Amino acid sequence: MVTYIKGRGDRNLRDLVDLETGVVSREVYVNEDIYAQELEQIYGRAWLLVGHESQVENPGDFVLGRMGEEEVILTRDRKGQIHVFLNTCRHRGMKVCRYDDGNALVFTCPFHAWTYDTDGRLVGVPHHHDAYFDELDKSQWGLAEVAQMCNYYGSIWATWDPKAPSFEDYLGPFKQTVRWAFQASDGTDAGVELYKPAQRWRLPSNWKFGAFSFAGDSAHAAMTHLSVNAAAIGPQGEVEGGGRHPLAAPFPSKRGYMSSRELGHVGQLAIYEQPGVADYRDTWLLEPGVDDYWRETREIKKQKFANEFLHMQSDGQFHIWPNATMSDWRILMWHPHGVGMTESWRQYQVDKNAPKHVKDAKRRYVMRYCGPAGITESDDMENWNYAHPASLGMVAQRYPYNFQLGLHHNHYDERIPGVTIGDRGPSEENQRARLRRWVEFMEAGSWDDIFPVRKNGKSNGKPRGGNGISSSW
C-alpha cells in the first residue's frame, strides 16, 4: 500500500487532498514522485480507452494507441479478433510498429527481425534453429497483451490488471452514458465510426488539469471562452449571437453535475422531467441539406425512445475515470507525458451511415471547435499551461488549490441512483469526485481495496451522506 509520498517530508495523501473542506495541495498536480506513483497505481490498473473498432475494420488493420505513457498497437488479427499490444519487441525493446496506422500481415521488428503475427504470437526468430538450437520457446515471447479488453458498443477499452472488475461493473451508473456516446443519431447502438486520424498534441501541463476539469468546470466558460463567440463557429453561423454550440429545441430537463463518488466517473448531463427525446431544431443553416439528415434520424430516435427517460444519456459530456472525456460527438484523451506534460488526443464520432455531405459538415465543425487549432479549445490550453509552472514554486506550494465551488450542495435523486447531483449552478463536485477516486487509487494495494466497496467499511456501494448532504469520505 502506498500511502505516503516522497518529497519535502513524507505526508499522507489524505493530508494533501481534503475534500471535507475542498482544499487540495498543489503537489498533487506537480510533484514528480506523485506522478511516478500515478503511472503505476492508476494507469497500471484502471480501464483505459484505447480506440474504436472502426479504426481497425479489416483483418490486419492496426492503429497506434496509448495507455498512460506507453504506446500500444490496436489491431485486428486475421481471424477478426481485436487485440491491444504493448508496442515493444520482447527481445530488445524496439518498437515493432512505427507507422501510425495501416494494414499488416505481421509486425517485424527492425532491430533483429523478431516477427509477430497480428494476434501477437512470436512466429519468426532468426537463427532459431542454428543458434538458439530450437531451445527458445516462442510461445512464451509473444507481444505483451493487455490483461483484459472490452469492446463496448464499438469502443475499445483495456486494462493491464487481470484483477480489474469487468468493464461494465467499472462503469457502474455510467454504463448507459458510454453506450449513448457510441449510438448513431437515430439511437442505433454502435452506430458510429471515428473520423481518422486522431489529433495529437503536447500541452505543457499536468494531465489532471485537463482530465479533471472537463465535464466538471462550467465555471470556466464565461471567462476562458470570452473570445469564442466573436468567431461564430456554430453551424448556424451568425444567427442568435453566433454561439459555438448547435441550436437545440427545449425539452423539460435539468442539467446537473453528476458524480459517481465511488467510481470517479462524472458528467455534466441531464435529468428529464418527461420521457422521450427533444424535437430536432434546424441548425446547419450554412450547409444545405444537412439538417434534413439529422431531422430524419431524430424522428426515428424519438419513436424508439418515446417512453424512456434518457437520464444521463443525452445533452452533455462526461468523463470516465481516469482520463477519457467524451460526449456523443467527441472523445478527449489526456495522456500523461511526464509530470508537466500532457499528450492530448481528440477524436470525433459520426454516424456510420450518414451521407457524405453530412459527414463533411460535421467534420469541419469539429475541426474549428476542438484541438490545438480549435477556436474554443485553444483558450483552455493557455490556462492549463500556465497554471502548472505557477504552481511549482516552493512558496506557491504552501498555498493549496480551492475546490470549494458548490461544496456540500449536492443531493441524490432516486431517478438516477449511484450518483450525486449538483444542480444549483456551477459546481466543482465533479472535480472533487475525481480527486476522491484519485486518493483511493493511489492508496490501494490492489483492486480488492477499491472495488466494489471501499476498505474499512466506509462504503457499502450506496450513496452516502443521507439527508441529501454530501460528506467527503
Partner 1 sequence: MTVQSAETAWERMLLEREIERFLYDEAAMLDERRFSDWGDLLAEDIHYHMPIRRNVKFGEQHRENTDTESEISWFDEGKRTLMGRVRQLNTGVHWPEEPFSRVRHIITNVRVLAVDGDEVEVSSNFFVWSNRLRDECVMFIGTRNDILRRDSETGWKIAKRLILLDQNVLLAKVFSTFF
Segment contacting partner 1 by CB under 8 A, of 10-18, 164-172, 361-369, 449-457? 361-369
231 Cβ contact partners less than 8 Å away, ≥ 6 residues apart = 242, 244, 375
Q: Cα-atom radius of gyration of the chain, to the nearest Å?
A: 23
Pull the grid cell for residue 292: 434534413
| 361 dihedral zone (left: phi>0; alpha: psi -120 to 50; beta) | alpha
Nearer to partner 1, 176 or 378 (CB): 378
| Separation between Cα atoms, residue 294 and residue 260, nearest integer Å | 32
Shortest spacing between CB 146 and partner 1, in angstroms: 22
Shortest spacing between CB 102 and partner 1, in angstroms: 6
Nearer to partner 1, 1 or 231 (CB): 231
| Separation between Cα atoms, residue 151 and residue 213, nearest integer Å | 27
Shortest spacing between CB 89 and partner 1, in angstroms: 18
110 binding partner 1? (CB under 8 A): no
Q: Which of 1, 2, 106, 226 binds partner 1 (CB under 8 A)?
A: 226
> Taking CB under 8 A as the rule, which mask of x and - marks residues 172-211 in contact with partner 1?
-----------------------xxxxxxxxxx-------
| Separation between Cα atoms, residue 234 and residue 316, nearest integer Å | 16
| Pairing verdict, β 11-12 and 115-117 | unpaired
Shortest spacing between CB 204 and partner 1, in angstroms: 6
Q: Which of 381, 416, 421, 444 binds partner 1 (CB under 8 A)?
A: 381
248 Cβ contact partners less than 8 Å away, ≥ 6 residues apart = 278, 281, 283, 315
Nearer to partner 1, 278 or 290 (CB): 290
Indicate the residue type of 307.
Answer: N
How many angstroms separate the most distant Cα atoms in the chain?
Answer: 76
372 binding partner 1? (CB under 8 A): yes
Among positions 263-292, residues that touch partner 1 (CB under 8 A) are: 286
Q: Which of 385, 397, 459, 472 binds partner 1 (CB under 8 A)?
A: 385
Q: Which of 6, 78, 98, 415 binds partner 1 (CB under 8 A)?
A: 98
Q: Which of 108, 176, 353, 383 binds partner 1 (CB under 8 A)?
A: 383
Nearer to partner 1, 321 or 348 (CB): 348
111 binding partner 1? (CB under 8 A): no
Neighbouring C-alpha atoms within 13 Å toward the C-beta of 178: 26
343 binding partner 1? (CB under 8 A): yes
Pull the grid cell for residue 418: 449511484
Nearer to partner 1, 144 or 232 (CB): 232
Of 338, 274, 333, 344, the residue nearest 307 (C-alpha): 274
Q: Which of 12, 151, 166, 227 binds partner 1 (CB under 8 A)?
A: 227
Neighbouring C-alpha atoms within 13 Å toward the C-beta of 266: 29
Degrees to nearest 5, angle at CA 2 with 211 and 41: 35
57 binding partner 1? (CB under 8 A): no
Burial 92-122 (b: 16+ CB within 10 A, else e): eeebbbeeebeebeebbbeeeebbbbbbbbb
| 312 dihedral zone (left: phi>0; alpha: psi -120 to 50; beta) | left
Shortest spacing between CB 347 and partner 1, in angstroms: 8
Segment contacting partner 1 by CB under 8 A, of 1-9, 37-45, 93-101, 400-408? 93-101
40 Cβ contact partners less than 8 Å away, ≥ 6 residues apart = none
Nearer to partner 1, 132 or 386 (CB): 386
Query: For residue 466, what are the CA distances in angstroms to 383, 447, 469, 470?
Result: 37, 27, 6, 7
Pull the grid cell for residue 95: 518498437
Segment contacting partner 1 by CB under 8 A, of 277-285, 373-381, 411-419, 436-444? 373-381
Nearer to partner 1, 337 or 434 (CB): 337
Shortest spacing between CB 28 and partner 1, in angstroms: 22
Nearer to partner 1, 110 or 461 (CB): 110
Q: Which of 25, 206, 224, 313 binds partner 1 (CB under 8 A)?
A: 224
Contact positions toward partner 1, by CB under 8 A?
98-102, 195-204, 224, 226-228, 230-233, 237, 286, 343, 348, 356, 359-360, 363-364, 366-368, 371-373, 375, 378-379, 381-383, 385-386
